[in-house]
């Protein structure tokens, strides 16, 4: 099956949008790339990086004649964008997105999608803590998962074509129900980010002299949290505004468990602490066995600092 598109319209060109532009171009998946942004400076930056062929501040103009449209803007902007582009969408086109939540996207975009357009929300599980058009690179999706959540009304061949597009950019692709996606991501991604942001915030409120030492000695665990908590603030704001129920459900479980651990610390319950710290190792082994991680010692430091023999253990 061909995964080639005549015209790809990217609405928004941050880390993910620019990486799609570079990857689609490298793998010859599209003839023309149209880029629409809200802010003129972002558009200028995309043009300077030669990420596309057509540059416009008018999203409807970008989607005109496009057989693949991908929303790459913050999720909070989706509803207004959907309203604006709906009349310009081509019959037979695929409309997708890259947002971190999916049920909300179905809810706010779905009603605007014309019946002859295949609406297939998507979520590439890839990223770095950098943002903006200059942060993208063509290898971003290589070996990473991309989840698609097509509704039951979408023709299978359209879903297959979008699956092929992501596979051609190096992704592993899985289709699932939007609500299930949101629950799984709440615990794998949203709650970890909330917790990381929170602990960095706790440090930000410390007395000045303690804070400077926390920064100095950050390599002992805290540093890894600051990396996670350096991600794009607007994107994450929208994640928590739009996946509220699943996040609160998983955060509730997390807090229950943390109360148990807190009590074990307070009462000095050594066996309970050791049992907990041992049990969690099995999960990490599963992740390594699933090929989602290597066993190499790392802690977020450049590997040059680690001897070769260590890297390969």
Q: Does the footprint of a copy of itself cover residue 86 (CB under 8 A)?
A: no
The alpha carbon dihedral of 65, 66, 71, 73 has a sign of: negative
Q: Does the footprint of a copy of itself cover residue 257 (CB under 8 A)?
A: yes
Site string for a copy of itself, 118-137 (x = CB under 8 A): -------xxxxxx----x-x
Helices (H) and strands (E) in the chain, counts: 14, 9
Residues 6+ apart with CB under 8 A from 157: 1
Least Å distance, CB 178 to a copy of itself, is 14
Task: Report the site for a copy of itself in 168-187 (rule: CB under 8 A).
Answer: 174, 183-185, 187
Least Å distance, CB 230 to a copy of itself, is 4
DSSP string, 194-212: HHHHHHHHHHHTS-HHHHH
Between 160 and 310, CB nearer to a copy of itself: 310
Task: Report the site for a copy of itself in 214-233 (rule: CB under 8 A).
Answer: 214-231, 233
User: Could you tell me the two tokens for 237?
Assistant: 């704001």
Q: Does the footprint of a copy of itself cover residue 80 (CB under 8 A)?
A: no
Which of 172, 149, 136 lies closest to 24, judged by CA? 136
Q: Which of 2, 39, 115, 282 binds a copy of itself (CB under 8 A)?
A: 282
Site string for a copy of itself, 185-214 (x = CB under 8 A): x-xxxxxxxxxxxxxxxxxxxx---x--xx
Q: Does the footprint of a copy of itself cover residue 283 (CB under 8 A)?
A: yes
The rounded distance, in Å, linking the Cα atoms of 90 and 114 is: 9
The window from 24-32, 111-119, 138-146, 159-167 that contacts a copy of itself (CB under 8 A) reads 138-146
Q: Does the footprint of a copy of itself cover residue 48 (CB under 8 A)?
A: no
**Cα angle 289-230-208, degrees, rounded to a multiple of 5:** 120
Q: Does the footprint of a copy of itself cover residue 139 (CB under 8 A)?
A: yes
Q: Which of 28, 114, 143, 155 binds a copy of itself (CB under 8 A)?
A: 143
The rounded distance, in Å, linking the Cα atoms of 95 and 236 is: 23
96 within 8 A of 90, measured Cβ to Cβ? no
21 within 8 A of 136, measured Cβ to Cβ? yes
DSSP letter for 117, please: S
Q: Does the footprint of a copy of itself cover residue 83 (CB under 8 A)?
A: no
Between 6 and 263, CB nearer to a copy of itself: 263
């Amino acid at each position: 099956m061909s995964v080639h598109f005549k015209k790809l319209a990217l609405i928004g060109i941050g880390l993910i949008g620019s990486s799609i532009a570079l990857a689609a171009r490298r793998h010859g998946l599209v003839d023309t790339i149209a880029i629409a942004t809200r802010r003129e400076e972002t558009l200028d930056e995309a043009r300077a990086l030669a990420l596309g062929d057509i540059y416009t501040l008018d999203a409807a103009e970008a989607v005109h004649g496009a057989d693949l449209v991908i929303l790459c803007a913050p999720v909070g902007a989706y509803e207004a964008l959907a309203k604006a582009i709906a009349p310009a969408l081509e019959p037979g086109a695929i409309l997708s997105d890259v947002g971190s939540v999916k049920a909300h996207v179905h809810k706010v975009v779905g009603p605007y999608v014309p019946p002859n357009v295949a609406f297939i929300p998507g979520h590439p599980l890839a990223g770095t803590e950098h943002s903006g058009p200059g942060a993208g690179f063509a290898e971003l999706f290589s070996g990473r998962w991309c989840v698609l959540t097509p509704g039951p009304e979408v023709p299978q061949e359209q879903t297959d074509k979008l699956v092929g597009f992501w596979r051609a950019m190096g992704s592993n692709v899985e289709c699932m129900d939007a609500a299930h996606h949101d629950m799984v991501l709440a615990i794998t991604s949203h709650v970890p980010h909330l917790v990381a942001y929170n602990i960095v915030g706790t440090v930000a409120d410390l007395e000045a002299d303690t804070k400077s030492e926390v920064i100095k000695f950050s390599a002992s665990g805290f540093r890894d949290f600051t990396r996670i908590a350096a991600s794009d603030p607007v994107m994450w704001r929208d994640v928590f505004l739009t996946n509220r129920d699943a996040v609160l459900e998983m955060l509730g479980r997390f807090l229950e468990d943390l109360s148990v651990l807190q009590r074990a610390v307070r009462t000095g319950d050594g066996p309970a602490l050791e049992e907990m710290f041992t049990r969690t190792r099995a999960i990490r082994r599963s992740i390594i066995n699933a090929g989602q991680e290597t066993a190499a010692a790392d802690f977020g430091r450049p590997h040059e600092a680690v001897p070769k023999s260590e890297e390969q253990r």
